Structure 1
Amino acid sequence: MDEVEFMRGRVYGADHDSPGPRAGRVYVQLVGGPLDGLLLDVTDLTEGERARGVVLATEIGRYGPGGRSAYGPRRRDRGRYDWRGDVP
């Protein structure tokens, strides 16, 4: 199993012991970029914060350790956040 397949269905930032989604939480799917296929818990974000998107720490992006990846909501599918690019 490659790294991409291993991460599918897992929640970004979740414990390794419990990597899947939890009942009662709201998730979006990250599409493209280094975090493709991961779910992101957006339960505690306001609508405005959800509309702006997120910048997430990742070591597997263009900038390696310390780098981040930007994701934003799709215009017609708020359940998916598309990759916008990597930032140092």
Structure 2
Amino acid sequence: MDDRMLRRRVYGADHEDPDPGPRPGHVYGELVGGPLDGLLLDITGWSTSRLAEEARLPTEIGRYGPGGRAHYRRRAQDHAHWDWAGDSR
């Protein structure tokens, strides 16, 4: 894991957590675009089929506000990045 990634916030980390960054031994994908741009998604232990699916992540800061979800898809040629595909309720 490079130094740039160590300084990043992990999606779902508690806002009160003094160290919301990545944990040793975990695998992360960087969210690109949309409301969660720049956050890291912990994909530790995800199966190959789960990694191929769209991640629908609950968020209050997307188009639909509380109760909404931001959708991200893993890049085919760059598995370290997940691109925003839109929002839903």
**The TM-score by the shorter chain falls in which range?**
0.7 to 0.9
Q: Give the superposition deviation at 1:9.
A: 1.2
Segments of structure 1 that go 5 or more residues without pairing to the other structure are: 1-7
- TM-score, length of structure 1 as denominator length: 0.87
Per-residue Cα deviation, 1:34-63 (whole angstroms, up to 9, x for no partner): 000000000021111011131000000000
- TM-score, length of structure 2 as denominator length: 0.86
Among the aligned pairs, what percent are the same residue?
60
The residue aligned with 1:3 is none
Alignment RMSD (CA, Å): 1.2
| Residues 1-88 of structure 1 aligned to structure 2 (within 5 Å) | 9-16=8-15, 17=17, 18-88=19-89
- 1:58–1:65 contact (8 Å) kept in structure 2: yes
The list of structure 1 runs, each at least 4 consecutive aligned residues, that deviate by more than 3 angstroms after superposition, is none
Q: Give the superposition deviation at 1:85.
A: 0.2
